[in-house]
Structure 1
Amino acid sequence: MTKPPLEAIPSFVAALGDYEPLARERMTEGAWAYISGGAGDEWTLRENIAAFARLPLRQRVLRDLSGATTRVSLLGMDLTAPILLAPVAFQKLAHPDGELATVIAAGALDTAMVASTQASTPIEDIAAHARAPLWFQLYIQPDRDFTVDLVRRAEAAGYRALVVTVDAPVNGLRNREQRAGFALPDGVSAVNLHGMRMLPPPSPEMLLFGAPLLENAPAWADIEWLRGLTRLPILLKGITDPEDARRAIAAGMDGIIVSNHGGRSLDGLPATIELLPGIVEAVAAAVPVLLDGGIRRGSDILRALAFGASAVLIGRPYVYGLAAAGAPGVAHVIRILRAELELAMALSGFRDIASIDRSALAAQGRGITP
C-alpha cells in the first residue's frame, strides 16, 4: 500500500471505474498485479468487459413503473437486488481490514457475500460480522479430510450455500504477476488452510503433467462425493460449456455460475456474457444460473438478466472500492450498481426482475450464438 485509504469518498467518484485509479495508488505493484491481472495476454480479461458493449439495449416508453423493485428470491434467500459479492482471495492485499470490511459493507447494503477458501481472515470471523447471507467458496483440496473439515466449519458458522470453484485445478499463466515478482507479504496468508497436509513437491524435471497437484485434482466423482457430504445448496462456479452444465445438474447441483475466473485461468475463453445464453438453454430452468465476470455497470446487469441470469457476481470492482476506502468504498460500489440497475430498468420499461427478458436488448444484440 503506497497511500492510506481515503477517509471520505470524493465527490468525483460517480461510477465503478472511478475507483480503479484510486485503488492503484493504494496497492503495491505485486498486489495490484495479483488483483487486477489476468492470464496470458489477458485477452479474456478484456473481453469480459468489452463484450457487454456489443449488446445494445432497447428502450421502451410510457410503461407502468408503479411498485417497481429489484428484489429477487434465490435459493431461499430474499435479496434486495440480484447482485452478490464474488469470492476474492487475500483481501488484506487491498486493505488492512480485508474481508471484515467487505462483509460489514455487504451487511449494510443487505448484499450476499461469497467468502473465499483463500480468505486472509478466518471464515468464522467473517461470519461473526455478517448481517446478510453468506456463501462459502470451496476449493476441493487434495487433502479430502481437510476439505470435509472446511465444509463442517462453513456449516457451523452459518454459511448458507457452497460455491465450488471448478475451473482452476491449477493456476492460470499469470504473466503479469510473474513480471511483478508477486509474493504474499508477511501477515497475509490463506489462514483457513493452515494445518492442511501438503502434497510433495514435483520432481525438478516435471512441468505440469504427472505433478502431484494435477494427479490429485478434483473430478466429477468428487462433486458427487461432496453432494453426499452436506445438505447445503451447492453451486458450481466456472462452468462455460453447456454439456458441463447438464452434467452438474445430473450430479445434484443446485446452481450454476457461468465464469471464466475473471480471465485469470484459461486465456482465450469467450466473455461470460457470450457463454451465458448457451448455458441457460442447456439448464432449461432446472436450477438458477448466475453470471460472473465483466460487470461494470447496472446496464450490464440488465443485459445478463435479459439472457436468463438469475443474478450476477462482482469481483474486482468491489475490491477496488475496498482498497480505496475500506468498507465505505465497498458499500458505495454496491449502491452505485443498484442505482444504475434501477435506472436501466426504468428507462427500458421493466418494473421487476422477473419481467426482464431478451426484449431488453436491441434486435442485433439478442441472438448471441452459444
Structure 2
Amino acid sequence: MSPDQVAAATVLITRLARGPLTPDALADARAVLAGRVPGTVLDEAAERALLDAVDPLWSRGWTPRDLVEVVRRRVGASVAPLAADLVAVDAARRPATWVRVDTPPPGVPLLTHWRARPGVDGLAAVLRLVATILALPPLPEVPPEEPDTSGIDPKVLARVRGLLAKAESTTFAEEAEALSAKAQELMARHALEAAAVTGVTETFPTAGVRRLWLDAPYTSAKSSLVHQVAGANRCRAVSLDALDLVTVVGHPTDLDTVELLTTSLLVQAGRAMAGPAGGSRTRSFRHAFLLSYAARIGERLREAGEAAEAAARAERGDALLPVLAARGEIVERTVAELFPRLTTKRFTVGNTAGWRAGREAADAASLRVGREALHD
C-alpha cells in the first residue's frame, strides 16, 4: 500500500460522499470502490477521508458533542457511535486541546473496527458521515465555559435533579407540580443568593454559552419553551432551526437552571400529550399544544422569578439590583457579539383545542418560588 494509493482512494471516497446516498447510489459507490481500490487500501483511505472532513470543523464553531448530536439526528443513532469514535481518533492529534476519550484499538482503522460490529454497514456509515460533515454550516464560535466559582452547592444540584426525575416519572399532575415547584424554588433562590455574594467580578467579563439540541418532532415549537425558560432565568436563547439547535447565553448558574428545567419540562409535556388529556394526535394540535405550554410556563416562571427577587430584596435591600442589571448587560453584549444579525420569528396557531390543552398541561407543571424550599 503506497501513500499515493491511499491519497487517491481518499479523494474518491470524498467525491462519492458528495453525491446522493440513496440505496442505489450506495450500491454503485460500493461497486466503484471495489473495482478501483484494493482491499488493503480502503480502510486506511476511509479513515483519512473522515479525518480530512472533520479537521476544519472545529475552526468553524463546532464541538465534538455538537457533531455527535447532529449525526444522531440527521443520520441516525446507529452512526452516532462512529462519529464519537472519529472524535476520539482525531483527539489523539490534538493533545493540547482535547480531552482523551475511549478510542478504537491503536493502529486499527475506523472502518476495520466497525466491520467487526454485527449488523453494521461500515462503508455506508463512513460515506454518510463524511457527507454529513461536509454539509454542516459554520456556527458562531463558542468560548469554553468558564468554571463557576460562585459557590454553587453540588448537593443543591443533586437534589434538584432528583426532584425533577420524580416529577418526570409520576403519573399524578399534582405531584409533578409540587416536585417541579420545589426544584425551581431551590435553583432560583440559590442563584440569587450566589449573585448577591459574588456580585459582578472580572471572573465573568462575558456570559457563559450552552448549546441545547432538541429532538424531533416539533423542534420549532419546543424551541419556544427553551426561550421562555431562558428569559425567565436571566438568559437569552437563540434558535437555529435548520439544526434543531438552541444556544443559551447567561451566567453559569442560570444556565444550569435552564438546562435542567427545559429537559424536565419537555419530558412532562411529552407525557401530557401522550396521556388521556393530550387530545388529538394531529400535527396542528401538538404544535399548538407545545406553543401554549411554553407560553404558560414562561408566565409562571416569570411570576416565580419576581417572587424570588422580592424575597431576596426583602433580605438584602436593593444591593442585588445593580448586580443583576450588570449581569444582564453582560448577557446582552455576549449575544450581540456572537449573533450580530438576529431576526425575530413569529408562530401561528390554528388549533384552539391544542392551545387550551397545552395551557392546562403547563398549569399542572406550574412552578412557584418560596424561601422555605431551601430548608425542607
TM-score range, shorter chain: under 0.3
Larger strand proportion, structure 1 or 2? 1
Q: Which has the higher contact order (CA 8 A, sep 6+)?
A: 1
